[in-house]
């Protein structure tokens, strides 16, 4: 193969691998190959060509991510619409793309250290009443990258444009202020994540405990109150499948308790009468621990505790990977 053919082929291959990006410098490097007979100069040209084609950054609209993993203080988060399913409008201007939510709201995004920038225009949607007030915050691996002032309806939107280089987890929050979250219709307008390589992925904003075999997975999740839920049980699947319907609220270990958070559709696993005669037991997540017995057997222990009584429950899950068996006891 001639030097001309080598450069031409590499140029076209590089273009295809980078989402069909045109190789603007093809003609220049083909000319170089005809002129340069020194092999060292040829490899220099090829190296420069490679550098020019791999830097193909890509932007991903925030609304294209799995918004079922975004928490919402009222209603549902919506792509390219407000929380009330209207056009995104901030201070009289309409935005075609973005995400409408309601404080308190949170979305965690896995960018795996290959992100470049996050940008958005934020504010309280025009559909809200004058009571709406929201503060927007962007953090990367726990460090605050950007924070808006308190935003209200009709105020000039706040522009966020921050570097997310070398960050693994990006977190977007729309927070209620001291006056509560009434009418806190929060918009992330014209919002996108720019990546050097790879794609951003929405991940759960709560703790997830995965207990699995070779083909089966049991996923438990927690909320900010410490409740433990059974999120998923079925064939092994990715995050999008496990959380395809958002966060579930089926108690993993149902008890009799004085709470309006739950409706009982099954017989509780535990019913305790405490020494003071009280019959309510409200178990909250404390911690989990996983140990591997051998290449086939794994034991996961989840500890729950009542915040009002000295009462602890430990749930044990022993998995047999090859046999696709999950054994459970408390």
DSSP tag of 270? B
The answer, yes or no, to whether residue 144 has pLDDT greater than 90, is yes
**Residue corresponding to tokens 């991903």:** 60
pLDDT at residue number 270: 80
Read off the pLDDT of residues 202-226 as tens digits, 9 standing for 90 and up.
988 777 888 999 999 998 988 878 8
pTM greater than 0.75 (yes/no): no
**Superfamily per CATH, domain 59-203:** NPCBM/NEW2 domain (2.60.120.1060)
**5-9, 194-198, 285-289, 323-327: which range is least confident on average?**
5-9
pLDDT at residue number 267: 72
pLDDT at residue number 25: 33
The answer, yes or no, to whether residue 30 has pLDDT greater than 60, is no
Residue 187 confidence class, pLDDT cut points 50, 70, 90: very high
The answer, yes or no, to whether residue 296 has pLDDT greater than 80, is yes
**Residue corresponding to tokens 């433990």:** 228
Q: What is the mean pLDDT of residues 264-285?
A: 80
Nearest to 125 by CA among 178, 192, 167, 80: 80
Other beta carbons within 10 Å of 16:
10
12 vs 205, residue with greater confidence: 205
Cβ-proximal residues to 304 (8 Å cutoff; 6+ apart), any chain:
228, 253, 283, 284, 285, 286, 312, 313, 314, 315
Nearest to 199 by CA among 321, 110, 263: 110
- The domain limits of the chain are 3-54, 59-203, 208-329
The mean pLDDT of the chain is 82
Nearest to 155 by CA among 180, 183, 179, 125: 125
pLDDT at residue number 258: 56
91 vs 23, residue with greater confidence: 91
CB 216 within 8 A of CB 234: yes
Measure CA of the first residue to CA of the last residue in the chain; give whole Å: 69
pLDDT at residue number 266: 57
39 vs 194, residue with greater confidence: 194
DSSP tag of 67? G
**Entry field: residues in the chain:** 330
228 vs 145, residue with greater confidence: 145
pLDDT at residue number 255: 80
Residue range 208-329 forms a domain whose CATH class is mainly beta
The answer, yes or no, to whether residue 45 has pLDDT greater than 50, is no
pLDDT at residue number 262: 53
The answer, yes or no, to whether residue 175 has pLDDT greater than 70, is yes
Structure tokens at 24: 């603007």
Can you give the C-alpha Rg of the chain in angstroms?
A: 26
The answer, yes or no, to whether residue 146 has pLDDT greater than 50, is yes
Q: What is the mean pLDDT of residues 286-293?
A: 92
């Amino acid at each position: 193969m001639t030097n001309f053919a080598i450069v031409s082929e590499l140029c076209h291959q590089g273009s295809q691998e980078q989402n069909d990006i045109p190789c603007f410098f093809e003609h220049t490097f083909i000319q170089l190959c005809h002129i340069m007979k020194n092999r060292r100069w040829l490899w220099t040209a090829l190296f420069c060509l490679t550098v020019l084609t791999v830097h193909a950054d890509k932007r991903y609209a925030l609304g294209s991510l799995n918004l079922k993993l975004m928490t919402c203080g009222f209603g549902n988060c919506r792509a390219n619409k407000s929380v009330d399913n209207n056009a995104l409008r901030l201070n009289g201007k309409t935005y075609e793309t973005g995400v409408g939510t309601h404080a308190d709201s949170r979305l965690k995004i896995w960018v795996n250290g290959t992100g470049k920038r996050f940008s958005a225009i934020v504010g309280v949607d025009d559909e809200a009443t004058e009571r709406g007030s929201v503060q927007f915050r962007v953090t990367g691996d726990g460090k605050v990258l950007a924070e808006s002032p308190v935003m209200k309806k009709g105020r000039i939107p706040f522009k966020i444009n921050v570097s997310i280089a070398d960050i693994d987890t990006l977190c977007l929050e729309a927070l209620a202020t001291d006056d509560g979250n009434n009418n806190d219709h929060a918009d992330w307008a014209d919002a996108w994540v720019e990546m050097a390589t790879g794609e951003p992925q929405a991940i759960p904003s709560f703790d997830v405990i995965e207990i699995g075999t070779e083909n089966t997975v049991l996923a438990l999740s927690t909320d900010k109150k410490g409740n433990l839920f059974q999120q998923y049980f079925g064939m092994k699947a990715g995050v999008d499948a496990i959380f395809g319907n958002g966060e579930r609220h089926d108690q993993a270990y149902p008890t009799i308790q004085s709470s309006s958070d739950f409706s009982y559709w099954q017989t509780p696993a535990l019913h305790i009468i405490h020494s003071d005669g009280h019959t309510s037991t409200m178990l909250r997540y404390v911690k989990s621990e996983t140990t591997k017995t051998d290449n086939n057997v794994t034991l996961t222990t989840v500890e729950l505790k009542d915040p009002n009584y000295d009462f602890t429950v430990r749930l044990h899950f022993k998995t047999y990977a090859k046999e696709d068996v999950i054994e459970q006891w408390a």
